[in-house]
Structure 1
Amino acid sequence: MPAELTATEALGLWHRVVLEHVRQDGQDLTLRQISILLHIYLVPPPHTVRALASTLGVTKPVITRALDSLGALQLVERERDPADRRNVIIKRTLAGALYLEKLGDLIRKEARRNAP
């Protein structure tokens, strides 16, 4: 059952999650990169650079730079759309799924830590 959090409690949870995430050895992603990664994994595909830019309200170069970083970490893959070579399709990877699973587990752990 979800708990109602005050703004201060929600920020405290986010603070604990971020601190613990930084303490762990792993990828240190920006909020933009995490937002893009979450969108790719939580919203059903297909995902394109153009659609991600539109959905997130940023330019295609902003998405491309973030995808360059995410791709270098093997959290996503890109390939040309065979039906329309102008489009780039963003694909999920096992490494990306595992990264988000660990992040989700961390959020749950920190939320339980202060639960009544």
Structure 2
Amino acid sequence: MSEKTNPKMLRLWREAMLSDVRSSHPDLTMRQMSVLLSVYMTEPPHTVRGLAKELKVTKPVITRALDTLGKLDLLKRLPDENDKRSITVARTVKGAVFLSELSDILVEAERRLDAEDA
């Protein structure tokens, strides 16, 4: 590993992901997770164009991620009230619960690693 590698963060990520894999959560790609986190961690409104610009990817990448996240009810598309040709991306209760549970998994993984290091 290089000098810039943070082994603790990588161990934390690994532990959290192992716990998540063992849960009933759907498997999301990194792109899907990035879109989901962007919508939940930044102020609305969110659009395909805006998300593509923020994540520095193309609009089709965002559209594919939204297709999956919509099917899982983690996000939803709504008509833009100001521009009927456009849509906005909105949060859902299921998406908020999903991220809350993921946060709990990360906290627990950090607790376990801290106990191992003590």
Quick one: distance in 2 between partners of 1:102 and 1:76?
16
CA RMSD of aligned residues (A): 1.0
Structure 2 length normalisation: TM-score? 0.90
State the partner residue of 1:56. Answer: 55
Deviations 1:19-68 (A, max 9, x none): 11011122111111111101101101100000000000001110000000
The AA in structure 2 aligned to 1:41 is Y
Deviations 1:72-108 (A, max 9, x none): 0000110121211232100100000000000000000
- Residue 37 of structure 2 corresponds to residue 38 of structure 1: yes
Question: Structure 1 unaligned runs (5+)?
Answer: 1-5
Structure 1 length normalisation: TM-score? 0.92
Deviation above 6 Å: which 4+ runs of structure 1?
Answer: none
The AA in structure 2 aligned to 1:65 is R
Identity in percent: 48
Question: Structure 2 unaligned runs (5+)?
Answer: none
